[in-house]
A and B are shown apart, each in its own frame.
Chain A
Amino acid sequence: MNYFQLFGLEEKFNLDTERLAQVYQKLQRSVHPDRFAHASSQEQMLAVQKSSMINDAYQSLKNPLKRAEYMLTLRGTEMPNEQASFKDNMFLMRQMELREMLAEVKFADDIDAAIFEATQVLEIEFEGLFKTMQTQLADNTEEANQLASDNLRKLKFYQKLHLELDRLEDFLFET
């Protein structure tokens, strides 16, 4: 049984996250330790295992990038090694520029405006890639899945940039 089946959801990228959360609560209640207080130790252990599995499933489906990764794994799309180097030159040049943009923020005359602008730039580029990946996941051909997997790797760079921006913001407003 895969994670979508566990939650009784259709295997689609655009899922109803509210429903996902509701089913999660319901499933977790069904394996809650209180319900197994008088059960055998074996049943108690099974409930704990099940609870941990439900939790893993929920985490994998809740986050869109993790969900995409999980779906691609289910489809047998070869996922490049996380540690393998990425060599798309154009993309990496852009990443350098974006990193430089973030490094410049703290020297801006109007830091709030610079942060706002940087956030906008990152969001627009993230959204563009995200929408493309969404379409490719919906296409669900071998080729589209491969392209979706490439875009997923790119999106991870943006996820990292967002974290950097958050960190920068914390740093600038603390000092």
Chain B
Amino acid sequence: MAYSEKVIDHYENPRNVGSLDKNDPQVATGMVGAPACGDVMKLQLKITDEGIIEDAKFKTYGCGSAIASSSLVTEWVKGKSIEEAAEIKNTAIAEELALPPVKIHCSILAEDAIKAALEDYQSKQDS
């Protein structure tokens, strides 16, 4: 299968790979997996008291499209408010990376990772 240039670029030069301290109260962690392909994705966001995402890191084990989707998402969320980040839709990710239909689930996984991270942030705020 032919990957788009953007997917290859993110795959070969992934942005923001790594981890943030998950015990930091400002750090939110989202973990998601896809049983169909066995992909696992971890997205971490560092969120300021004003609710702005100042840093984002990811670690993904999966195919090129899954890595590219999470890499792209870390670029997109930086500098955004949590409300704006929550608006990011998988369709926008899929469109940006020109994902073929069989790889749409990779963009869904990335969207779900943002949601999972924001849920984690919320539960950290509440506790």
Contacts and interface: CB of A to CB of B under 8 A. Distances in A.
A93 B32 CA distance: 10
Given A99-B61, A156-B38, A86 B33 contact: yes
B92 interface: no
B108 A157 contact: no
B37 interface: yes
A157 B37 CA distance: 8
B51 to A, nearest CB: 23
Dominant SS among interface residues on chain A: helix
Interface in B52-81: 59, 61
Contacts of A83: 34, 36, 105, 108
B42 A86 contact: no
B61 to A, nearest CB: 4
A147 interface: no
Contacts of B42: 92, 96
B117 to A, nearest CB: 11
A152 to B, nearest CB: 9
18 contacts: A83-B34, A83-B108, A85-B116, A86-B32, A86-B35, A87-B32, A89-B31, A92-B31, A92-B32, A95-B33, A96-B61, A153-B35, A156-B35, A157-B33, A157-B35, A161-B38, A163-B38, A164-B38
Interface of A: 80, 82-83, 85-87, 89, 91-93, 95-96, 99, 153-154, 156-157, 159-161, 163-164
